[in-house]
């Protein structure tokens, strides 16, 4: 999570959380109180103005296909109807915290984990766990895109077969693509496809500013790049188009993991957490 904005944690290994997922009834319906619908609406309205200018076309097309309600938290079944028709995916309601194993297992089965809770007003701008707004608003629109869906599926299969040590490196690939990925097209225009940015007004404006370092996609370079979850990202990686995710799928990702492990990590572009303000 970047400090002071809305973001996510890709993999949660801690077992402590202040949030509890809301469980569906026998028909799959999840009841949310009105104050939580109001939080959804406030988050939606706050980010809506940034999307037309900064989000990539594939995301905007998916957002239109999903037709997300502005004034209420959508039911997962509503999202599933659109995703399944588009790419064969669906959502999977999960608790606030899930393991590496569960995360990869779901993706390998074309199920995208969605934590069925929404942040409190007290944590409107800073959240340790990925909530339903982040997962649905940030990620689900792109799961209507074939290239993004194929990449997510292959990533899940690779992670499921990987060792514990390899998964740590794979987490960086997910972080710098699905969560914080950018697109720099042939016209040199910069657009966002990473859900961690798209669900965060603060990080959206920061990523589009002159502050961060933006590097072209390089698989081994990404796998060697450390990151922190509680700050604005000092570096992002940009692909040429959303279709480039198909090219990444064709790469020998696990061979790149082996090479990255041999070379070791780059020096971080941030202070250690204990020294950072």
Active site residues: 134, 139, 179, 199
Which runs of consecutive H residues, i.e. helices, occur in the chain? 34-54, 57-66, 76-87, 100-108, 132-133, 146-161, 164-174, 195-198, 201-207, 219-223, 244-250, 253-263
Query: 256 is written with which tokens?
Result: 């790149």
10 Å Cβ neighbour count for 161?
12
Compute the residue count for the chain: 277
Contacts of 48 (CB under 8 A, 6+ apart): 70
10 Å Cβ neighbour count for 243?
14
DSSP letter at 139 equals I
């Amino acid at each position: 999570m970047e400090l002071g904005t809305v973001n996510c944690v890709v993999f949660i290994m801690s077992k402590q959380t202040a949030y509890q997922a809301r469980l569906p009834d026998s028909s799959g319906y999840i009841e949310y109180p009105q104050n939580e619908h109001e939080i959804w609406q406030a988050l939606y309205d706050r980010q809506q103005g940034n999307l037309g200018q900064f989000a990539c076309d594939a995301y905007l097309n998916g957002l239109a296909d999903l037709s997300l309600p502005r004034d209420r938290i959508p039911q997962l079944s509503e999202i599933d109807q659109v995703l399944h028709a588009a790419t064969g995916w669906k959502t999977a309601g999960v608790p606030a915290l899930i393991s590496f194993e569960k995360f990869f297992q779901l993706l390998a089965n074309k199920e995208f984990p969605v934590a069925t809770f929404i942040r409190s007003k007290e944590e409107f701008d800073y959240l340790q766990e990925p909530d339903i707004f982040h997962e649905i608003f940030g990620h689900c629109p792109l799961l209507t895109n074939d290239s993004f869906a194929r990449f997510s599926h292959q990533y899940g299969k690779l992670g499921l077969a990987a060792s514990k040590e390899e998964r740590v490196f794979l987490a960086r690939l997910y972080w710098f693509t699905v969560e914080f990925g950018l697109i720099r097209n042939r016209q040199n225009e910069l657009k966002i496809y990473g859900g961690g940015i798209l669900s965060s007004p603060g990080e959206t404006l920061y990523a589009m500013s002159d502050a961060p370092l933006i590097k072209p996609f390089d698989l081994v370079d990404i796998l060697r790049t450390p990151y922190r979850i509680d700050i604005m990202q000092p570096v992002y990686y940009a692909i040429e188009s959303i279709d480039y995710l198909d090219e990444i799928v064709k790469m020998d990702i696990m061979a790149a993991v082996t090479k990255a492990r041999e070379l070791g990590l780059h020096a971080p572009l941030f202070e250690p957490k204990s020294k950072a303000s």
